[in-house]
């Protein structure tokens, strides 16, 4: 980490409005991650695109309210702000119907982005944000431009029909940290011929792609973190689930802050589980976190 008081963290990729049956809520995995990282104490920048429309204006206001710097949000003319129709089943699990050719698909490289990449302590990116060729090039160029020691967090975030496994290959080659869930691990296991227990599969991934940390979320079963030779496996926090939208992004944000602070792996895992569990009790991806989850003391309990 650099000498600044708070780590500089970048969310890189899509900004979307999740349209639920009862209305629209701010979302997009990198934006959710960025919002939670800011709530947990990071100095956060969001790099994305929104349209020159009412939803774009609302997205910028929402980010500002969440104390995120919006100077790197581009507004390409002629493309709408992203929106996705969300359906939630009786168990709280969401399904998504994405729009196409939206503002976040047209992210342009710039000198300002190059400077930001050089300063970042951590950057989180996914595969969905790379569905458009221009944004794919910009995202990968940004990640590659980060300095040695920057956490390059690939939150794989497979969202059919936008699953293009060569992009996953390229992203894993760039990453130092991988975040995935128990639906995504079998996809990687088949592609990379992984065998054995989940721990063995994650160890194989870490070795193949020189990953320093691998994070596996497993819903109600719990979470599994690998960091070098260390393993942390914990059960899920028991809560009444409203919906699970954004819970994985909150988990990733808490893990990122924990890694940047050099905390023990079990401490990181436990706190990330608490944050994600709280999000599951709320509607929408980025509810305001209670003070007990945001405080520095929570990380070290």
Q: What pLDDT digit, counting tens, does each position of 202-248 carry?
A: 999 999 999 999 999 998 899 999 999 999 999 988 888 877 778 89
Q: Write down how long the chain is.
A: 301
With beta carbons less than 8 A apart as the criterion, state whether 217 and 225 touch: no
Average pLDDT estimate for 246-253: 92
Q: Measure the CA–CA gap between 209 and 171, rounded to whole angstroms.
A: 10
3-class DSSP assignment, residue 193: coil
Question: Cα torsion at 267, 268, 271, 277 (round to 10°)?
Answer: -130
Neighbour order of strands in the sheet with 94-98: 23-27, 16-20, 82-88, 94-98
What are 35-87's pLDDT values in tens digits?
A: 999 999 999 999 999 999 999 999 999 999 988 999 999 999 999 999 988 78
pLDDT for 1 equals 42
With beta carbons less than 8 A apart as the criterion, state whether 115 and 144 touch: no
Cis status, amide bond into 82, omega within 30 of 0: no
Rounded to two decimals, the pTM is 0.91
Quickly tell me which residue has 């590659």 as its tokens.
144
**In whole angstroms, how far apart are CA 214 and each of 139, 186, 229, 232?**
21, 15, 11, 11
Average pLDDT estimate for 195-202: 97
Q: Measure the CA–CA gap between 275 and 68, rounded to whole angstroms.
A: 19
What are the structural domains, with CATH classification, of the chain? 8-299 (3.40.1190.20)
pLDDT for 19 equals 81
pLDDT at 295 over 80: no
């Amino acid at each position: 980490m650099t000498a600044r008081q708070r780590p500089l963290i970048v969310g890189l990729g899509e900004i979307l409005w999740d349209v639920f049956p009862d209305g629209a809520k701010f979302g997009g995995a990198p934006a959710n991650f960025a919002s939670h990282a800011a709530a947990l104490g990071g100095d956060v920048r969001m790099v994305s695109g929104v349209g020159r429309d009412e939803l774009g204006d609302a997205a910028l206001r929402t980010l500002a309210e969440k104390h995120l710097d919006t100077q790197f949000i581009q507004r390409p003319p002629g493309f709408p702000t992203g929106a996705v129709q969300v359906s939630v089943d009786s168990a709280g699990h969401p399904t998504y119907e994405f729009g196409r050719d939206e503002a976040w698909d047209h992210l342009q490289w710039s000198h300002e982005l190059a400077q930001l990449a050089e300063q970042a302590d951590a950057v989180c990116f996914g595969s969905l944000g790379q569905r458009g060729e221009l944004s794919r090039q910009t995202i990968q160029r940004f990640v590659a431009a980060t300095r040695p020691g920057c956490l390059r967090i690939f939150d794989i975030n497979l969202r059919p029909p936008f699953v293009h496994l060569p992009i996953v290959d390229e992203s894993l080659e760039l990453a130092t940290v991988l975040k995935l869930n128990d639906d995504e691990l079998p996809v990687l296991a088949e592609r990379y011929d992984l065998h054995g227990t989940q721990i063995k599969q994650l160890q194989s991934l870490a070795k193949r792609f020189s990953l320093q940390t691998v994070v596996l979320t497993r819903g109600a079963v719990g979470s599994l973190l690998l960091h070098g030779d260390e393993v942390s496996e914990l059960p899920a926090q028991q809560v009444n689930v409203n919906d699970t939208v954004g819970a994985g992004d909150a988990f990733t944000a808490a893990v990122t802050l924990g890694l940047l602070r050099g905390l023990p792996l079990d401490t990181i895992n436990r706190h990330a589980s608490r944050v994600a569990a709280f999000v599951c009790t709320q509607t929408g991806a980025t509810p305001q976190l209670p003070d007990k989850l945001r405080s520095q003391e929570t990380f070290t309990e």
